[in-house]
Structure 1
């Protein structure tokens, strides 16, 4: 006797929230890309920048699709990536655009102001912006989540979308120095600091999913969520800090020696979290 395969559970709340995030994020992304392309006269530069940024995103999406199989839903995946590229990026842009000039005008010397905006305020603003989408998706899809690592995947998707949109602007600026400038920027952002934003927000996503799937009481869940967001900010801050203080003559070596192991640890933990079995959950 054969049995028809069980379909994946669905959630009206998760579907609705995903559609709302997509509806909000698409016009935000269009606005951000229009700003990035302002003043760019070379179509070749546009395609090179978009292509270089897309390469990292595609690699990340393929890996996540392999490890997570589009859980909790394909629509949630689209919403997470869209929020990173649209909603999170525009909130971060406006937030940093207000805070950075205020810090620079505060009387701090140039190096101190750069440190504060790069290591303190930047990670706080950007991780809060990205976390908004993760919180919405995790809360509304909580009945679909089978393990905390699925929340990490949603966070990683938001981070991938954020990096995809952000890197286009960086690569366009780098092309002012030609292909060599693009390569140097790609080396730093896509190879040595590979998937940094995905890792940062995955930490927050894991904690949020743990809060809704494992926490015994609301206070425990709230503390887990706050702790995850704080941890994401700290991991983000350390990456920016390393990039800021690394010696110029050995920047690539110093940055890569620290950030590549962070990537490796993150990948191992994500694979372990998605593959390990629970006595009450499916594999």
Structure 2
């Protein structure tokens, strides 16, 4: 699944061809993805001018001058294609700009989604209302995590994946950040020290920022809108490296937590 850096990279790539442009035509090529397309999507956006693009957690936001925002989620395998040679069977939403660019939302598994939300009501939108702070924003602090983790016996890794605590963190980057901060992923969250949380917050930011600069991780179907693959996977220290040596020389271990694989070092992480 595309995680925060992949979505941020996608939004930045789209901004190069969409920001300030008029949507000349928009077409839904099937009735739904994970849920139905908004029935008024075509009417609401045809002729609208895109004023800006942004991201909230793992959602991309395309804001228009009619006070509305198209919110997209890439699901497991979704991606935007810019000026494709042809429209394929998995291109389920097609958008054309006044400048002549064609953009296609491609989603073979159809686990993604597209919604239309009043821009002024975005923070109250049910998917956003209960979300925690952005990991790259000022709201993520050691004090915030300490309050969220207080008296919790659940594993720290599982709570970091809880979008109500931190918005947008995913499995890959939580594994990497915990390794960098030297925190065992199975440690009870309520027992993680303030000193460890003080290490963790900057490591969360660092691993995400490095991945964004690298263009997102290459993972199965993910590619950037320009067709290039991200290359942060080359810098993974533990994720997907079971049995390979950690930087300390100890083989990387893997356990299952919440139905997902967790990669860590039993020597470095306590």
Normalising to structure 1: TM-score of the pair?
0.31
Structure (1/2) with the larger helix percentage: 1
Structure (1/2) with the larger strand percentage: 2
Q: Which has the higher contact order (CA 8 A, sep 6+)?
A: 1
Normalising to structure 2: TM-score of the pair?
0.32
